[in-house]
Each structure stands twice: as C-alpha cells, then as structure tokens.
Amino acid sequence: MLKKVYLIMTLAIILFAVTYILLLLFPKYRAYIALTSAVIFVIAGILPITKVFFAVDWNVIMMIAGTMGIVSLFIESKMPALLADMIIEKTPNVKWAIVALALFAGIISAFVDNVATVLMVAPVAVTIAKKLKISPVNSIIAIAISSNLQGAATLVGDTTSILLGGEANMDFLDFFVYKGKPGMFFVVQVGAVLSAIVLLVLFRKEKQTIGIQERAVVTDYFPSFLLIGTIVLLIMASFLPTKPAITNGLICISLLVIGVVRDLIKYKNLKVISKTVKEIDYFTLLLLAGLFIVIAGITEAGVVAKISEVFVTFSGGNVFIIYTLIVWASVIFSAFIDNIPYVATMLPVATGIAIKLGIDPTLIYFGLIVGATLGGNLTPIGASANIAGLGILRKEGYEVKPLQFMKISVPFTIIAVLSGYFLVWFIWA
C-alpha cells in the first residue's frame, strides 16, 4: 500500500514538473498544456473524476470573466482617457506627467486588469511624447510597472489577488482590513508612494513643459456605473455572514450581462454581444481551469503536503526564514515566469506550511503575493502588462532592450518589495 502511495506521488511530481517546463517553453500554448495535463492526471487515476468539477474554483473563473467584460465596456466608453487627460492638464512638465500617469495607471489597475490598464493609459503617454517630439519609452515602462504594483491592492485588481481571495476565502473589504489589521491595500500604497519617489529621481532631468491637451469625450457613462456597481456590490457581499461560494462570481457575471443587454437594446445590433464576449480572455480562463485540476491532482497525491514539509524542514521551523524564502523566491521566479501558474501552485503550499507550523497562514499568503506580484516588474517578460507596454512601443518604432527596461524596473521593484516585505512581517508576524 505504501509503495503504491509513493508510486502515485512520484508520477504526480513527474507530470507536474513536465507541465511546468512546457508552460515555460511554450507560453503561447499554456492553456492547452494545462488542460492536457489535467486530463492525464484524471486518466492516470491520480485525481478521481468525481472530484474534477469541484477542483475548479468557479467563483474565481466567473469573477475574472465578468470583470474582463465590464472593463472592455469601460475602456470603450473613453472614460479612462478623459480622466488621464484631466490629470495631464494639471502637470507642469514631463517628469510630473510621467509620475502622474504612472500613479493614475496604478489607481485604475487596483480595480481593472493590469494589461487593460496599460492599453487604456499608454496611448495618452504616446500622444504627449509625439506632441513634444520626445521618446515615450520611459513613460510607458513607468505605466506598466505601476499597473503591476497596484494589481495586488484589491480583490479584483489582478488574477493573483482573485486566486488569493479564493484560497483564503477573502472578500473585497478583507484587502483593506483583515482580521482587525491593515490588509494588502495599505501595504501596496506604501510601496506606491516610495516607488513614485524613485520615479521622480529617475526622471529628474525630464523638465519639458506640456501644453493643454484636447480632452477625450466620453461616449457612454453607463459602463462607469457598472464598474462602480461591481465594486459596491462586492463590498456589500463582504457583510453577508453566510453566502454561496460563487457569490462574487455571480455579481461580476450578472453586471456584465446587464451591460451587454443594455447595449443590445440601445444599438439594436447583435454584434454588440459578440464584440464584448470576444474581449474576455478565454485563454487565461482555460489555463486557470486546467491548473486548478492539476493542483488538485498533486494535492490528492500528497505532493503539496510534501513540498510544505520540505520548506519547514529546510528552515528548521523558523517562521521568519520561511517567510523570507517565500517572498524572495517568488520575486526571482516571477521575474522570469508568469505569476498566475506560480501563485496558483504556491497558495496551497502556503496553506500546508501554515498548518505544519500551527500559525495563521495570512503572513505566508501576503508574503507570497508581495513577492510574486511585484517580482514580475524586474524584467520585460516577468508580467503581461510589461509585454503589452513593450508591444505598444514596438508599434511606435521603439525597440526596448532589457537593460534599458531594467534601469527603471529594478530600483522601482526593489523599493516596492522591500517595503512590502517589512510591512507584512511587522503587521502579521
């Protein structure tokens, strides 16, 4: 019997390792790799087929799908462009404009997907650069890395935050105050202030004055109300003592349906449905569904418990050493690999570590999110928002070298991670 257990565990480890290597080597096919791996885990008998449906966190899947759809309507309404223009009007020169746009992108990114934030704010920076006949490279990089930073501030700011909410059963307000202590929102804001100072120092020579920009015109205010409504309803749901596990997901999907139906009535054209539905990133949703099943498989085989045991043994049971390992290993890994599969894998490990040590898992959870979310800022390939920003620059004829990117991203990231590392420890240790 014991031999069979070890055989299943060994097979699960091999399958998981191969899956992860393939995810790294073939990023364009990540969703198909994860789903194929999930099927193999079931066929091999590692995960019983009866547990497959419940392995997927449908609340997370629905939250991401609904938020993506609502955000697409929000961007199309031109409201973000108008807000950005209003901010630019108040800035005296390029240095302050870059920092203001980066901070604005951060605020938007706390409630909107990071990539979507870059896609809506970056064109403003490009327009300013063209009018002043200067390079937009610095401002686009600042916008991208600032978006990544604030993604960890709220439940809906980033996929990793939604994953954390699912694992720790956290609601919207828990990111502000959790168990009577400051949550991730305030940790991130301290990092945002310190990293903004870093940007001011880096761009201290950019003193060209900016003329008044022509304001964007908002075409539809309804999507703004939808986005605000999503946040308000998620907050209200936080106060419900007993609610279905998919409550947050249902809120996001329901408001997306309201937005699509309203557009259908307004424009009387079925194309509005397909247009909004196409904006949902099904690739990410399929990747997550596959990963949920794979992680359930390695958990079922005892691999997650074993990894947790290795962490505890290696550190001698010292909580500070484990916490430090989690944070900085996450920074290094996330600098080179997508943080979604990494966080999805490590959250159950964090739970296992906390159980073995007999401690509140919040310290490990928050340390993981600080390292994994901010670590992606170190390199051009560490986060999807960075890749999107560099793609915009490439279209404008600017090819950014890794060293040029990292001259801005490295000091920004180190300050943000260090502040988060110390704050989380002092608040939650």
Calculate the alpha carbon distances from 401 to 126, 195, 379, 391, 405 in Å: 18, 22, 10, 12, 6
Q: How confident is the model at residue 363 (pLDDT cuts 50, 70, 90)?
A: very high
With a cut of 60, say whether residue 212 has pLDDT above it: no
CB 260 within 8 A of CB 69: yes
> pTM score, two decimals?
0.76
Q: Residue 54 CB: number of other CB atoms within 10 A? A: 10
Give 405 or 380, the one with higher predicted confidence: 405
Residue type at position 276: T
CA distance 198 to 103: 12
Query: pLDDT tens-digit profile of 271-329?
Result: 777 888 887 878 878 888 888 898 888 888 888 778 778 878 888 888 999 999 999 98
Query: pLDDT tens-digit profile of 102-132?
Result: 888 888 888 877 777 787 778 777 777 776 6
Q: How confident is the model at residue 338 (pLDDT cuts 50, 70, 90)?
A: low
pLDDT at 368: 92
Q: How confident is the model at residue 161 (pLDDT cuts 50, 70, 90)?
A: confident
